[in-house]
Amino acid sequence: MNNKSVDIGVGVFLCIFSVAVYLYAGQYSGRGVNSYGPDFFPKALSVMMFISATILIIRGLAGISLTTLESTDRQGFIRAGGTLALGVIYIGLMKLIGFYIATALFLYVLMAFLGQKGQLTRILVSGIVASLIFGIFHLFLKIPLPEGFIYNSLKSF
Amino acid sequence: MDSLINLLDAFQIIFSNPYSLMYILIGVAAGIIVGCLPGLTATMGVALLVPFTFSLPPVQGLLLLLGIFTGGIYGGSISGILIRTPGTPAAAATLLDGYPLSQRGEAGKAIGIATIASFIGGSIGALIMSFLAPEIAQFGLRFGPPEFFALAIFGLTMIISISGVSLLKGAIAALFGLLLTTIGLDPLSGVARFSFGSDDLLGGITFIPALIGLFGFAQVFHNIEKMQIVPQVKSKVGKILPSLKEIRSLLPTMFKSGGMGAMTGSVPGLGADVAAFIAYAEAKRTAKKPEEFGKGALEGVAAPEAANNGATGGAMIPMLTLGIPGDAVTAVLLGALTIHGFQPGPLLFVNHLDIVYPIFAGMILCQLVLLIVGLAGARLFARLINIDTRILTAVIFLLCIVGSYSIRFSFFDVGLGLTIGVLAYFMGKAQFPVSPILLALILGPMAEQNMRRSLMLSRDDPTIFFTRPISAIFLFLAVFMAITSYIRFKQLRKIEQRVADDAAVENESNNG
């Protein structure tokens, strides 16, 4: 997609979005402490957003979009998407098996996914970083990290 | 006189606790590492490390963050000098003469000058901040809701300066950020807005996960997509310390640029990067041999480095005294202060002098630590640039997740950070800047609440904003800033275009 169609597409989406915000904010009217109640600010912003988005569309249609789109590397884009998916899996895994093991596993897999070839490096880095972060957050800063469903079940058992 | 006594007391407080000095040292070293690694900005560094300060005593937590800020701005020059890739935008001007020096085998000298200049510039900025900020805060005590509303509008005009290539897209990003601030309980009426029945959204968009999303996750996705292997440092660093004669000849440039940097940095919107370019241009204009600039002039390294570190102190002034961040990094610091329970603004100087003056003293000490760590560790930091990006990116992604989680121990916040990160990544693709969102997240609540409070005071009469002198002046300044910033925005775009064209021509001739 070129920048013109992206600007038009984004502009149309933002127009719809701002109308939706305006209408949704309407339900807050009359419940404020004065006539400028809780609906005023979101409504005012949505009107400004609508105007800005319309200008974006007009500029796109007139072919005067000033910016050029950043090029997308297809392989890289898939890699970024894969990383996001791994991140989501890691969060789920953390709830299940706890922070420490999930983190070491996640780092090992993510480095492999990103193309880090050294097996020993991956093992060492994932172990050391997981230990460091666990040490700093859990032991030093006393921030409770997830212990995991399995550990908690065993503990209560 | 009171300021001096309070400052000396603050030094005593810091020196009486060795941990405080340790946190400054850790912060500066971490900041330099973050700064010298291309792809990691000082803003990202501070955002990622804010969670590490949650359970620290406030002063020590803030000293750690100040260290990262100071070190991060300086650290960018190391990669700029060695591999012509500025670690942070603030170091973009430094490489113009730093890299030619490196090619001549004088990388060490360039780093040494950058370090000394950063120390002098940063110290000037910190001293100006220490003595000017209390006066401004005193003036700020006269402010009521209309003045704070006008101030927020004034602060929002800095969007023009941080909008990147398109002002319209910057404005849209800011409006989106302002809309995000309306999520959650309305503080004046108690009405839940746009929370869609979710308890997690009642408190609004949590600042730190949003911040990590904007500057952490998005950058990680961008880095992973490009997966650029950073060029290896090939040139030898060599001797670090320049000769005394060279230092002496550069001192006037360093002092002048440091002062200019502090003043530039104190204007909301003109961050360290703009300060560096302004000082570079001024040094070139007044140089005896301006034709040497761009070919390895020592002043060409000293001026931008003194200015960008001078700007760190300058940028703290509006943030601490009025609650208006001077640039993106101070916006993050403002958020960090709030998380630690301190609301930046004039009242901070009334209620929390125990925090304010250690910040001043800490900023001054950060410069001293920067000088020592920078000179002693230059070779080590230079070697860090060669770190495998596949390992680094994985670790940063992990830190983003843990950082988002640790503020409320909430997986919802991790999801929020990831969502905002994905959004910011696509915004970057379509050339929508993300910094205006950050600014809007900070200034949005200030603008809305004070606007509505003012209208309650005036019984819905909007002329209150124009009949109160300070408010009217700020609104006038906002319009003035908007116009002058727009003109400067256009000029900067032209300069950047010309520099890019020159670089392209130079590359072609090198390849040819």
Helix H or strand E segment including B192: strand B192-193
Position A136 scores a pLDDT of 82
Closest-CA distance of chain B to residue A148, Å: 13
B1–chain A Cβ distance below 8 A for any pair: no
Residues whose CB is less than 8 angstroms from the CB of residue B501 and which lie 6 or more positions away in sequence, other chains included:
none
Distance from the Cα of A40 to chain B's closest Cα (Å) equals 9
Strand bridging mode B184-185 / B192-193: antiparallel
The predicted pLDDT at position B27 comes to 92
List CB contacts (< 8 A) between A46 and chain B.
179
**Residues of B with CB below 8 A from A143's CB?**
51, 54-55, 406, 409
Confidence of residue B23 (pLDDT cuts 50, 70, 90): very high
Comparing A81-85, B107-111, B159-163, the range with the smallest average pLDDT is B159-163
Residue range B40-61: average pLDDT?
Answer: 83
Contacts of B266 (CB under 8 A, 6+ apart): B128, B132, B314, B315, B317, B318, B326
Q: How confident is the model at residue B500 (pLDDT cuts 50, 70, 90)?
A: low
Q: Which positions in chain A touch B428 (Cβ < 8 Å)?
A: 70
Q: How many CB atoms lie within 10 A of CB B251?
A: 14
Q: Which helix (H) or strand (E) holds B193?
A: strand B192-193
Residue A5 pLDDT greater than 70, yes or no? yes
Cβ contact (<8 Å) for B189 and A110? no
User: B41 or B342: which carries more pLDDT confidence?
Assistant: B342
Alpha helices in B141-204 (DSSP H): 145-156, 167-180
State the pLDDT at residue B26.
92
Which residues 297-316 in chain B show a CB within 8 A of chain A?
Answer: none
Length of chain A: 157
Share the mean pLDDT of chain B: 85
Residue-level pLDDT at B182: 93
Q: What is the DSSP letter of A145?
A: P
| Closest alpha carbon to B271 in B211, B314, B302, B333 | B314
Percentage of chain B beyond pLDDT 90 is: 24
pLDDT at B292: 83
What is the average pLDDT across B163-186? Answer: 87
Worst-scoring range by mean pLDDT, A127-136, B129-138, B320-329? B320-329
Please give the residue of chain B at the shortest CA–CA distance from A51.
Answer: B172
Mean pLDDT for A128-134 is 91
- Asked if residue B368 has pLDDT above 90, the reply is yes
Q: Mean of the pLDDT values across residues B134-162?
A: 83
Residues on chain A touching B226 (C-beta within 8 angstroms)? 73, 76
Burial class (CB in 10 A: 0-12, 13-18, 19+), A19: middle
pLDDT, mean of residues B277-300: 86
Question: Tens digits of per-residue pLDDT, B59-75?
Answer: 899 999 999 989 988 88
- Which of chain A's residues have a Cβ under 8 Å away from the Cβ of B432? 10
- Residues B194-224 have pLDDT tens digits of 988 888 888 888 888 898 898 889 988 988 8
Structure tokens at B333: 């610091």
Split at pLDDT 50, 70, 90, the class of B504 is low
- CB-nearest to B418 from A33, A49, A84 is A84
For chain B, report the end-to-end CA distance as a whole number of angstroms: 63
**Highest-confidence range of A81-95, A140-154, B82-96, B225-239, by mean pLDDT?**
A81-95
pLDDT band at B362 (very low <50, low <70, confident <90, very high): very high
Q: What is the DSSP letter of A137?
A: I
Contact A143 B388 (CB under 8 A): no
Choose the weakest-confidence range: B8-22, B41-55, B83-97, B227-241.
Answer: B227-241
Give the gap in angstroms from C-alpha A27 to the nearest C-alpha of chain B. 9
Q: How far is A143 from chain B (nearest CA, A)?
A: 7
Within 10 Å of residue A119's Cβ, how many Cβ atoms? 10
pLDDT exceeds cutoff 60 at B229: no
- Given a cut of 90, whether residue B424 has pLDDT beyond it is yes
The larger pLDDT score, comparing residue A6 to residue B502, is at A6
Flag whether pLDDT at B444 surpasses 70: yes
Which of chain A's residues have a Cβ under 8 Å away from the Cβ of B454? none
* Res A66: pLDDT: 58
Query: What confidence category does residue B276 fall into, taking pLDDT thresholds of 50, 70 and 90?
Result: confident
**Does residue A105 have a pLDDT over 90?**
yes
* Nearest residue in A to B177, CA atom: A45
Pairwise CB contact (< 8 Å): B390 & A24 = no
Q: What is the pLDDT of residue B460?
A: 83
Instruction: Output the pLDDT for position B120.
Output: 94
Is the per-residue pLDDT at B270 higher than 90? no
Q: What confidence category does residue A49 fall into, taking pLDDT thresholds of 50, 70 and 90? A: very high
Smallest Cβ–Cβ distance between A114 and the set B390, B430, B432 belongs to B390
Tell whether the model's pLDDT for residue B237 goes beyond 80: no
Q: Is the pLDDT of residue B314 over 60?
A: yes
Q: What is the pLDDT of residue B54?
A: 76
Q: Token pair of B481, please?
A: 């800033």
Q: How far apart are CA B341 and CA B333, in angstroms?
A: 13
Lowest mean pLDDT: which of A106-110, B200-204, B376-380, B453-457?
Answer: B376-380
What is the interface size between A and B, counted as CB pairs within 8 Å? 169
| CB proximity B456 to A under 8 Å | yes
User: What is residue B55's predicted lDDT score, i.e. its pLDDT?
Assistant: 79
- ipTM entry: 0.90
Min Cα–Cα distance to chain A from B432, Å: 9
- Chain A: residue nearest B448 by CA? A41
Q: Which two tokens stand for residue B104?
A: 């001549």
Percent of chain A, pLDDT > 70? Answer: 89
What pairs with residue B429 in β-bridges?
none
Decide if B393 and A114 are in contact by the 8 Å CB cutoff: yes
Instruction: Tell me whether residues A73 and B225 touch, CB distance under 8 A.
Output: yes
What is the nearest CA distance from B9 to chain A, expressed in angstroms?
28
